[in-house]
Structure 1
């Protein structure tokens, strides 16, 4: 049988979907770099490596299972890995994160517009909420097309911004790394290794339903997996660059709610404005998949009940996003789900080992 050729168009689109999903409010604003990486000084870099390797393991397996199983309900992925009884428990917990993560992202966009344009955070959050609702109504395939196009744009501009700032302030890199651990930064975990693990384990509870559904839309399983691998590698490259850029001026940037916007704006006011758009695209493309997965778990797409459910979900998310500051919301939601997702990741490891033995 002739070996199927790689469809690089599909690979790039899937990698774009991963990057768009991964670059949410935490990364694109810079708050994530502070909490997960910069607070640990030089140990930020091995922590990023740990996160990359674990992300690769999960994304390869989720795309493989999603393509082979074609789950009718996205939450069935938890039954596959954890069994029917525990699967239901994880499904409920996943629904909590599918709600909580978009709340954080909606809050993050409001904080960004507040810092740049000095408009009320609630108004900025409302803009994202309306666009999220419109996209959810369009459905999964349209969302994949949108996110696949957004990802490469975010990658290029984020890398360019980080590299420019890094070389402009390269003299401060060593000093920033040395003093980072002594600064009053809100760290996600007590040590760098746990932070690296948390960075990945907080994600599978809401990424598993979305990525298995995404893989089912691709005709060639290998194209989906290659796209996932490329997406993880590109994403971790950007994380490393932006973290290094923050280190160069960390004593100042650590006082800002949205440090990445401060970086872009210091290079050029025009780039600052462009980065506001990038922040919006990153938050949008990360928030909507979780909300869409939640809607698809309860209602069938393209129905009146689905649209009503989506409207209620978006409305409640917007209300909750106004209750706490963005940085507090991020650590509250992702800190808790880092532990829960870690338990689920163990089940994924166990299932992979069982499947490998069964195939031997």
Structure 2
């Protein structure tokens, strides 16, 4: 019994420092060009006007509890290859299928990152979109070929900085704006993420609350392997859970504050691809230059690791370094031309598509973690005793 009690105590130990690190890593992985520029926030939340805040609340609950659950399960499983977690949740065959779906999705997100860079260089720096897109493509390819992923990991710490900066931008924008929210927010409605695919046929799905589910399911689906691996590094189950929980709260808290700030300027942001930079310019134009650099670093720190995951998945069929170079270059070119479809359009197409798969995964995770795992963990602990 003493051994069992010692085990229980160990599984409850929590380090505040580790909580901050895990929550920050969750933020860093989730933040890409869509979030950092504000385009995701605009389409999934702000396009519904004040009701978008309801979507933020729904999304925050899912981000927090599922992020915590996935990291906690990562602590329990400690898998050697994190994409195998799909096999744990869905069985061998569906799991393998979802592994490949995730890789394809991440490759699509790389194109979104490249397109987001192009949008930023165009709207803020006044350069051609191709300049920014080519630059980010080259950086991602070089990172893979020269093994510079450690650099991307270091820059990845910029994620929490973007969260903090976004919260400040939203709050200061609201303080500097005069009056109340604009009443003509309906001009944003055509940008809503649920307006695509088949959601618009049903009022219950073409809504702010379902858009919150769709956003969370898309982002969490793509992050399942990452969060599982992150949780395996925790010192306890409790530490793993709260690291994921706090990270999920921080991500959507910042998004909600930005939604509230954007509702002051619907006419201005409706045609913009980088609404966050517009908000900064409203109260401190000099900070826009600093924020633009932070956003570019944040985009790179997400795009390069995602591109690496794609190449890493293919490496088992790559016979030598020469072929790896060729494959990397070809995929880089494909990602670049994929970005040519347009930043906002890519987000509006790909994220709702993957959100549909993600809704299925959310249901599976909830059942597996919150209705089945308690029994499994009880049996494990009894065996250890």
TM-score, length of structure 1 as denominator length: 0.89
**Structure whose alpha-carbon radius of gyration is higher:** 2
Establish whether residue 327 from structure 1 lines up as the match of residue 335 from structure 2. no
Establish whether residue 299 from structure 1 lines up as the match of residue 307 from structure 2. no
- Within-5 A mapping of 1:116-195: 116-136=124-144, 138=147, 143-147=152-156, 149-173=157-181, 176=182, 178-189=183-194, 190-195=206-211
- Within-5 A mapping of 1:63-82: 63-82=71-90
- Within-5 A mapping of 1:3-18: 3=10, 5-18=13-26
When residues 218 and 355 of structure 1 are mapped into structure 2, their CA distance, relative to the original with a 3 A threshold, is closer
- Within-5 A mapping of 1:164-243: 164-173=172-181, 176=182, 178-189=183-194, 190-243=206-259
Inter-partner Cα distance in structure 2 for 1:156 and 1:129: 27
Q: Unmatched 5+ residue regions in structure 2?
A: 1-5, 195-205, 379-385
Q: Which residue does 2:334 correspond to in 1?
A: 316
How many pairs does the alignment contain?
354
Q: Which residue does 2:50 correspond to in 1?
A: 42
- The offset of 1:60, in angstroms, is 1.4
Inter-partner Cα distance in structure 2 for 1:10 and 1:132: 29
RMSD: 2.5
When residues 142 and 256 of structure 1 are mapped into structure 2, their CA distance, relative to the original with a 3 A threshold, is closer
Contact 2:48 2:189 in 1 (8 A): no
**Partner SS state of residue 108, structure 1:** helix
- The offset of 1:200, in angstroms, is 0.6
Establish whether residue 275 from structure 1 lines up as the match of residue 280 from structure 2. no
Q: Which residue does 2:382 correspond to in 1?
A: none
The counterpart of 2:62, out of the listed 54, 76, 100, is 54
Q: Unmatched 5+ residue regions in structure 1?
A: none
Inter-partner Cα distance in structure 2 for 1:53 and 1:6: 22
Inter-partner Cα distance in structure 2 for 1:214 and 1:17: 8
Inter-partner Cα distance in structure 1 for 2:150 and 2:242: 19
Q: Residues 246-268 of structure 1, C-alpha deviation per residue, up to 9 Å, x if partnerless?
A: 00111222222211111112323
- The offset of 1:278, in angstroms, is 2.3
Q: Residues 230-258 of structure 1, C-alpha deviation per residue, up to 9 Å, x if partnerless?
A: 22122222111111110011122222221
- The offset of 1:308, in angstroms, is 5.9
Inter-partner Cα distance in structure 2 for 1:255 and 1:245: 16
- The offset of 1:219, in angstroms, is 4.6
Contact 1:74 1:293 in 2 (8 A): no
Inter-partner Cα distance in structure 2 for 1:253 and 1:81: 41
